[in-house]
Structure 1
């Protein structure tokens, strides 16, 4: 599997704010926000449920990864998806760094991926889950 998820008790907007706050506690900043719903509406004229991709980055760990493997930027940042389901519940999905960075055959990357995953799992655990 390439990711892990949790259900959020609350509204979509609250989920975005809370996941951003929890990521910050683990040293992550959100570098990008892709509003998939708005993009698909603008480009294709289709309606989708609220869906955002947050590009999260821990600068210290990203620097270590880039030092070990300069092209690892192709696999960064760690994406976190917040989406509203048909029943109005909210799902938060996290990229699994071990699955993605497992593509890299470079010493030290496995340990970094393990550290990043542990941080993301702590974020998931602290969210208001059902």
Structure 2
């Protein structure tokens, strides 16, 4: 499995707010975001439930990863997502960097385990 996902009984805005707060509490930062559901509406005029992708990192992790593998920029930051199931529930999740970075070598995988645990902890904080 390359992702860690939990369903929460929150509306989209509340799930997003709580997830962003949890990301900060575990020591990571949201450094960017994109909302594909708005792009679909704008470009195709199709309504879809809210869907947001968050880009998450910590400068120390990126610095250490760059020292290990100069091409790591193609794979960072980590990705998280929030989407509405169309009801009054949402799913929040994160990619598992130990899986997505596995081909970069064992040193990278070992190093990124801490960040992966932080990402999963942020999901669990909202889902509990």
Interval of TM-score (by shorter of Structure 1 and Structure 2): over 0.9
CA distance in 2, matches of 1:27, 1:65: 17
Q: Alpha-carbon deviations, 1:52-92, whole Å to 9, x = none?
A: 00111121111111111111111111111000003331000
Native 8 Å contact 2:8 2:15 kept in 1: yes
Runs of 4+ residues over 4 Å off in structure 1: none
Aligned position for 2:125: 126
Q: TM-score, normalization: structure 2? A: 0.92
Structure 1 residue 124, shift from structure 2 partner: 1.8
Task: Flag the structure with higher helix content.
Answer: 2
Alignment coverage as a number of residue pairs: 128
Q: TM-score, normalization: structure 1? A: 0.91
CA distance in 1, matches of 2:77, 2:38: 21
CA distance in 2, matches of 1:8, 1:66: 35
Aligned position for 1:46: 46
Aligned position for 1:117: 116
Matches within 5 A, 1:1-130: 1-105=1-105, 108-129=107-128
User: Which runs of no fewer than 5 residues in structure 1 stay unpaired?
Assistant: none
Q: Name the Cα RMSD after superposition.
A: 1.3
